[in-house]
A = this chain, B = another copy of it.
Amino acid sequence: MENKVIKDRLSALREKMTANGIDYYLMPTSDYHNSEYSADFFKAREYFCGFTGSNGTLVVAKDWAGMWTDGRYFIQAEREMKGTGVTLYKMGEEGVPTISEYLLSNMESGQVLGFDGKVVPAAEGMSYEKKLKKKQVKIKYDKDLAMEVWTDRPKLPCNPIYVLSDELCGKSFEEKLADVRKFMDENEAGSYLLCKLDDICWLTNIRGNDVECNPVVLSYLFITKKSVKMFVQFDELTDESRKYFEEKGIELFEYSKIISWLDEYEYEGLTLYDERNVSYSVYRTISDNAKSRGANVKNILDPTEMMKACKNDTELSNIREVYRRDSAALTKFIYWVKKAVKTESLNEYTAAMHLDDMRRALPGFIELSFPTISAYKDNAAMMHYEATEESNAALTPEGFLLVDSGGTYMGGTTDVTRTIVLGPISDEEKKHYTLTAVGMLSLANGWFLEGCSGRNVDILARAPLWNIGIDYKCGTGHGIGYMLNVHEGPHSIRWKSRSVEDDAPLKKGMIVSDEPGVYIEGKYGIRIENILEVVEKVKNSDGQFLGFDQLTYVPLDLDAIDKQYLQAKDIKAINDYHAEVYKRIEPLIEEPEIKEWLKEATRAI
């Protein structure tokens, strides 16, 4: 069956391409800042091919269109693009060309590749530029053709900016700015362009609501030795924030003017930027302009990333309290769902809604830190499963329910996963749950020397599973923001580095998740995720030892623990953890029957 809607959209796009002298037009999945999540405004790729996944690039030519996505989405993309005439290119499969390879062998010399350079990350754009040079392909990056076809395009998100007090942030904007300027001095730089949204919010102590689940503000920051220029949508300014920016000496410019401003700015000396977070348009503008004035640009790792990652004492103390309350809410949810499943008609979605409501009732709740994952039985084996009101599985008193969820509150952003026993489970499920719990606690209780990165310690969480020939196909842990994004760098815990930043050392005050799991296709999925704070342990002539403190205090499910897979030290680790859970969470629970259940759920084994 033909998908006429999409075909018509592609025809209209092709007309615009012809009118603009563009032979191939490329649409990636990104906003202006290479954010993890994109607002609806940025979903041009989805508009023109129907594919809704979180990763994909559409390329359109006169008589052909292709969409590249990764293994998570092959089935979904095939289904969603049926009848559109768009060819699916399965990234990573043998014999499937990359986009560059495809363009290189199909574009003719002198043809034009077009894209909106504002949504293509600098490194990606440069790579096309470099690879297609051989074929004298020209690149046209100043046209957002989607804008001309997509008449009912959603508006750019535009939500009020709010200001956090220095007391809540633990460090004022001025102090943070001084650190950034110190970095600029060390790099002998005259200016620094910061494009990463959570870094801008962290640095300026503001928050907003422009990216789903990320309380950030669409903005750019241009810092010189004497001035700070901020580009925001003026409609987002409140009286409070306008006054704050004025007090702090932050000069405001309209968000949409960034490119033209950068194009006219009189660069002197060296301008720093981070190519991971800068769009191709921004990169070309600053680099061409600077060079034309005899100035220079330099690619660096945003220094704000590491500064933001090492939480200060105020942040840490707020985070600990936020996690305690969030843990208590999840604990109550576990009590509820284990009981309700026996008597009520529940499904994955309604259970998630119940939990979300519990979080919303907590003091200081801002928003969910990501859409709650509630996955029953075999659904949990799909790492990116999302139940909806329309499509979900009914819960019955058997098997595992995996719930991965979190909230952003005044004082912290949480993330936690528990796999909950709803009724009878198999011996194999118990074995895998037990070894997952052992891995999670082994990492949490491990000591390591300062200088270690996540690569060094990842195996502590993975070993109990690797030793029986099971792996989970994702990292063990990610950094988490302070009232900010639930995923933040530079550190992570994974055995294979994707990039040099993955190898950032673990430092005191960092927050990191610890989430091993077992995913058996068609059967079940197990993940246990606690959030850890990096803390100092012993310091002696051998060096500074680091370790972790737990932030998450939610019972493991003893119904799924099989002692035959536990060493003495594992039993002690579980009992010690549960003793702490009871001690910290019990005071937050009023209902006597839940108190009683918690005592049983955290009993020593």
Contacts and interface: CB of A to CB of B under 8 A. Distances in A.
A92 to B, nearest CB: 14
A495 interface: yes
Contacts of A80: none
A434 to B, nearest CB: 14
Contact of A452 (B446, B451, B495): B495
A52 interface: no
A471 interface: yes
A270 interface: no
A357 B537 CA distance: 47
Contacts of A495: 449, 451-452, 456
Contacts of A496: 451
Contacts of A459: 446, 448, 452, 456-457, 459-460
Main secondary structure of the interface of A (DSSP, over half): mixed
A543 interface: yes
Contact of A466 (B449, B463, B471, B568): B449
Nearest to A568: B567
Contacts of A460: 459, 463
Interface centre among A446, A455, A459, A537 (most CB of B within 10 A): A459
A162 B328 CA distance: 74
A467 B449 contact: no
Contacts of A458: 456
Nearest to A494: B456
A78 B142 CA distance: 67
A499 interface: no
Contacts of A569: 567
Interface in A5-37: none
A542 interface: yes
Contact of A456 (B455, B469, B470, B567): B455
Given A542-B473, A567-B568, A467 B446 contact: yes
Nearest to A470: B542
A471 B567 contact: no
A537 B569 CA distance: 27
Interface string A439-465: 000000111110110011111100100
A467 B455 contact: no
A343 interface: no
B568 A471 contact: no
A457 B496 CA distance: 12
8 contacts: A445-B467, A447-B466, A449-B471, A452-B459, A456-B459, A466-B545, A469-B545, A567-B569
Interface of A: 445-449, 451-452, 455-460, 463, 466-467, 469-471, 473, 495-496, 537-538, 540, 542-543, 545, 567-569
